[in-house]
Amino acid sequence: MSEYWLISAPGDKTCQQTWETMNNLTSKQHNLSENFKFHIPDLKVGTLDQLVGLSDDLGKLDNFVDQVTHKVAQYLGEVLEDQKDKLQENLMANNTDLSTYITKFQWDMAKYPIKQSLRNIADIISKQVNQIDADLKTKSTAYNNLKSSLQNMEKKQSASLLTRNLADLVKKEHFILDSEYLTTLLVVVPKSNFNEWNTSYEKLTNMIVPRSSQLVYQDSDFGLFTVSLFKKVVNDFKLMAREKKFVVRDFIYNEEELAAGKNEITKLVTDKKKQFGPLVRWLKVNFSECFCAWIHVKALRVFVESVLRYGLPVNFQAMLIHPHKKSVKRLRDLLNQLYAPLDSSAQQQGNQGGGNDSVDIPGLGFGQSDYYPYVYYKINIDMLDTKA
């Protein structure tokens, strides 16, 4: 399971005792989960009013950082294209896999100095992730435009002969060039009409060069033929050809233009290859930045809510729980029983199944359905889950 529960409970005689009680009950006695201590440093508390205001703002910041983290991960998957199966191994946090990062979480003192106020730390994270979000938009737009241009040119090269770019199919020797009177046309003929073309093209109008038609290229449905004729009968020839379901393509052989077209696609392929490596590296680095920032926001939320719930002096144990797949309900019931004495209203709500009579505590960043006697946040580290 990619789901973890980040919870806190007040210290008993010691915080270690709080940890041992929970761990013994859920993991050692009933084997419902794997548990880890979640270390939160001594942060500056501030005033009660500041904490209440910060609680709501941290909820919004949590959602924002979560969304940006998912966006970076999903765009990395798009950029990897046919290597998308390697996405998971590229999603690292601080050079380790996501589960290791959160189960061995260490506060980053250099990025988020704990001497700063809680509000300042939240602002640092907000600015950092906003910048990553803005840079992602710029980089993804540039790369997507390049990719789109290349795809459009490749489509033109691989489409039906009725619409595709003909430049890479023809050669100089297929055409009469620099003649005052004669020209060469390219005609698309359905495969089923090849015989009809060969027997009738010379008779479609007068002034057609005998035996001038040559099959240049064919795909599964059509063939591309040349035919040489006098310039003055070109319009008549087009009309007569259309009646026979022969399609004359508008095409002028110009070596400079054809070379420029070929150079353009080569340039686009080269540009895409040049941008691919640096873009993947940027996405990997900034995914790590976002994910680490997100877990720090979770730590801030646990700290703020624990102080609001359990009071001062600060005395609580934060714990990370990894539920076993089929044990979620039983684990939840066991935790509710263990921590019921902390909050009778939460226990009452649990018994009522979260009905409308449940107590909602102003200022605490919980929806009613997520309110338990203990502080609780869910962390889903499956970055491929768009519903997360």
18-31 pLDDT tens trace:
999 999 999 999 99
Is 349's pLDDT higher than 50? no
Q: For a pLDDT cut of 70, what percent of the chain falls above it?
A: 91
User: pTM for this structure?
Assistant: 0.78
Give the CA distances from residue 273 to residues 24, 101, 263, 265, 279, in Å, rounded to whole numbers and listed in that order.
54, 32, 15, 12, 10
**Tens-place pLDDT, residues 86-119:** 899 999 999 999 999 999 999 999 999 999 999 9
State the pLDDT confidence band at 355, using cuts at 50, 70 and 90: very low
The pLDDT mean for the chain works out to 90
pLDDT at residue 154 in the model = 79
State the pLDDT confidence band at 37, using cuts at 50, 70 and 90: very high
* Closest C-alpha among 372, 371, 388 to residue 380: 388
Is 388's pLDDT higher than 70? no
Instruction: Look at the alpha carbons of 335, 341, 344, 348 in this order and tell me if their dihedral is positive or negative.
Output: positive
**E strand or H helix at 281:** helix 255-310
State the pLDDT confidence band at 386, using cuts at 50, 70 and 90: low
The full DSSP string for 219-246 is: -SSEEEEEEEEEGGGHHHHHHHHHHTT-
What lies within 8 Å, CB to CB, of 359 at 6+ separation is 345, 346, 348, 349
CA 199 to chain centre: 57
**Tens-place pLDDT, residues 171-220:** 999 999 989 999 999 999 999 999 999 999 999 999 999 999 999 999 99
CB atoms within 10 A of CB 270: 10
- Report the alpha-carbon distance of residue 219 to residue 246 in Å, rounded: 15
- Report the alpha-carbon distance of residue 188 to residue 175 in Å, rounded: 16
**Tens-place pLDDT, residues 133-157:** 999 999 999 999 999 998 888 777 7
* Closest C-alpha among 150, 169, 295, 299 to residue 224: 169
Q: Please, which residues bridge with residue 323 across strands?
A: 33
